[in-house]
Structure 1
Amino acid sequence: MSPGDVFDVESCPGVSYVDTGMYDTAEYGSVYVIDADRPAIVDTGIGTNHERILDALDEQGIERSDLEAILVTHVHLDHAGGAGYLAAACPNADVYVHEVGARHLVDPGRLVEGTKEAVGDQWQYYVEPEPVPEDRIVELTDGDTVDLGSRELTAHHAPGHAPHQVVFEDHSCDAVFTADAAGIWIPEQDRVRETSPPPNFDLEQCIDDAELLRRLDPDTLLYAHFGPGPDDTDAVLKQYEQVLRDWVEAVEAEVVERGSEEAAIDHFSATTEVQYVWGEHKAEAETAMNVRGVLHYLKNRGA
């Protein structure tokens, strides 16, 4: 798969996904297109190369003026950075987002500031987000339903990764758009990887979110990073819970072993196995960010 490629989700008729080429990396960022009575997309990428999402609409025969819903799983800019651009290009689409994050789409200034602090030199891959007009925002709370006519999606609050995160359950094909609640699926390595960025990563709540997904018992997990997951959804969710526990324990132990947080960050960045998939720069930067998220969690645990 290459950036810009569009594939159908075989287990979920009417749903396709595009590789957005996020961070100049193939098989990292996916945005989903839902061909329904009220067409929709799930997530928007970082804004860079948002034209690939518009091209995916074209490929699925959906006119831009016919798109009615832009569903944002959370307002981290790798999921919401393109919302303003796509709202401008698709004038009849409302933007659905959890109520905690809505103000950041209308005025993204603080979100940009926080993102720059979290991602460091990865900011070079981003563009400044465009604000979403306030009258185009639809605020969601836990359990709200998005009616797309021929299918319904239920939003479930999953705040472990971020307080404004929801996952969307598609009842028509028993699928869940997982946001970052199920980790990062790496197709090439056939495994799930942690995602633990600062400042909101919460181990216990992330495990609760994975258990929420298990209770929903979907046939298909549709990852934002990246693509449809494995058939055995329960097994991969159990695996992710253990991945998170092991990851936090490893970071904590490495800080003690090496005597400093920076030394631990350098160690994990230099030894990450995803450099063979994402390339050295993205793999090291992502790993360093995830370590910093765990360190923030450990410092504030129980506060």
Structure 2
Amino acid sequence: MREDSGGITIIDTGYVRPALCAAYLVHNKGRAALIDCGTATCAPRVLAAIEAAGVDRASVDWVMVTHVHLDHAGGAGPLMRALPNARLVVHPRGAPHMIDPARLIAGAKAVYGEADFARDHAGMLPVPEARVVIADDGHVVDLAGRPLLCIDTPGHARHHYSVWDAATRSWFAGDTFGISYRELDTDAGAFIVPTTSPVQFDPQQMHASVDRLLARAPASIRIAHYGEVTECTRLGSDLHTLIDTMVAIAQAANGRDDRQAAIVDGLVGLYTERAVAHGIVNAPARVHEVLGGDIALNAQGLCAWLDRVARSPSV
């Protein structure tokens, strides 16, 4: 946990491993907003971090989930029970799943399997509808006079918004601006890849959302996986290139009996080549160690996109 000069504390939710999944606590005039919150099993750790940051539970006015994937929103139910004055800010497409998470739970079990779900996600609870605030495109959350602007940023998921903090000229971008783990940083800066995990990846929407974030010339972008990145223009260009290359890999594998495995192999090759060029020492092993789980999920998401395009070519 670390607070920067903008009154923002990064919280390591503890999901799977250290420095994989972040939540952010925004402070202003004694009040606070929590942006993303980890899984249900992470809730005690997140609460402890809020208290360690000197914030009383009653001073948290908002829990803002950028989208309702469980590593971002699974802990909302338990946290709302522990934060008596908080309201949950959620995309209109995601709100029904926070009020009744049954379908969300079923979908997560299908992606992760029963055993991993029980280990990492057990304990999800519904959020009372009266405490849910719908964040349409352009919705502004007032944090004691500090505006937090929510804009629609689909591509990773149709239920995704990002949060603009004018006070720091920075975005809280959830998964829209890719994944960039700090252990892959080099003298060349941050190493970034898109996240195309199941099941709503859309390349055109993702391109548009990345451009929408860059249009404000942000000083930095805070992402869930993991932390704050600068060099936003360069990283955005990298994301655009990779989105197109990953789509091409998926399309080349389409129709093969081993389609998903072929996509995995293609992503491993792509990321390793770029890691070598980025100056990452022992790149093949580091890509496997740090990005292996994301590669598997990205391949699943690319397969889901191929199937959706086959059903409706206009998608």
TM over 0.5: yes
Structure 1 stretch displaced more, 289-298 or 91-100: 289-298
Per-residue deviation, 1:259:
4.9
1:43 corresponding residue in structure 2: 36
2:265 counterpart letter in structure 1: H
2:150 corresponding residue in structure 1: 155
Which of 295, 300, 304 is equivalent to 1:292?
300
**1:191-249 deviation digits (Å, cap 9, x = unpaired):** 112211122100111111101111122101011110101x2111111111111111121
Distance in structure 1 (CA, Å) of the matches to 2:148 and 2:294: 31
Distance in structure 2 (CA, Å) of the matches to 1:242 and 1:186: 19
Per-residue deviation, 1:279:
7.4
1:63 correspondence with 2:56 = yes
Distance in structure 2 (CA, Å) of the matches to 1:55 and 1:128: 17
Per-residue deviation, 1:276:
5.3
Task: Give secondary structure in 2 for the equivalent of 1:188.
Answer: helix
Task: Give secondary structure in 1 for the equivalent of 2:127.
Answer: coil
Which of 45, 65, 76 is equivalent to 1:52?
45
2:71 corresponding residue in structure 1: 78
Task: Give secondary structure in 1 for the equivalent of 2:218.
Answer: coil
1:261 correspondence with 2:259 = yes
**1:234-280 deviation digits (Å, cap 9, x = unpaired):** 11111111111111212332456x65214325635877769956975
1:98–1:266 distance in 2 versus 1, CA, 3 Å: closer
Distance in structure 2 (CA, Å) of the matches to 1:276 and 1:26: 19
2:170 corresponding residue in structure 1: 175
- Give the TM-score taking structure 1 as reference length: 0.89
Which of 2, 11, 22 is equivalent to 1:18?
11
Distance in structure 2 (CA, Å) of the matches to 1:263 and 1:207: 25
Task: Give secondary structure in 2 for the equivalent of 1:49.
Answer: helix
1:142 correspondence with 2:137 = yes
- Structure 2 unaligned segments of length 5 or more: list them: 185-189, 273-282
Distance in structure 1 (CA, Å) of the matches to 2:257 and 2:158: 32
Distance in structure 2 (CA, Å) of the matches to 1:27 and 1:105: 26
Aligned residues: 292
Task: Give secondary structure in 2 for the equivalent of 1:96.
Answer: strand
2:120 corresponding residue in structure 1: 125
Per-residue deviation, 1:283:
4.4
Which of 21, 25, 28 is equivalent to 1:29?
21
1:239–1:269 distance in 2 versus 1, CA, 3 Å: closer
* Percent of paired sites with the same residue: 31
1:81 counterpart letter in structure 2: G
2:212 counterpart letter in structure 1: L
Distance in structure 2 (CA, Å) of the matches to 1:279 and 1:127: 27
**1:98-119 deviation digits (Å, cap 9, x = unpaired):** 1111110010000111112223
Which residues in structure 2 correspond to 1:273-288 (within 5 Å)? 283-288=291-296
Distance in structure 2 (CA, Å) of the matches to 1:96 and 1:139: 6
1:108 counterpart letter in structure 2: P
1:261–1:113 distance in 2 versus 1, CA, 3 Å: same
1:269–1:239 distance in 2 versus 1, CA, 3 Å: closer
Q: Is the contact between residue 188 and residue 277 of structure 1 (CA under 8 Å) also seen in structure 2?
A: no
Q: Is the contact between residue 264 and residue 295 of structure 2 (CA under 8 Å) also seen in structure 1?
A: no
Q: Is the contact between residue 260 and residue 303 of structure 2 (CA under 8 Å) also seen in structure 1?
A: no
Task: Give secondary structure in 2 for the equivalent of 1:213.
Answer: helix
Per-residue deviation, 1:92:
0.7
- Structure 1 unaligned segments of length 5 or more: list them: 1-5
Distance in structure 2 (CA, Å) of the matches to 1:66 and 1:214: 32
1:186 corresponding residue in structure 2: 181
- Give the TM-score taking structure 2 as reference length: 0.86
RMSD: 2.2
Q: Is the contact between residue 181 and residue 226 of structure 2 (CA under 8 Å) also seen in structure 1?
A: yes
2:2 corresponding residue in structure 1: 7
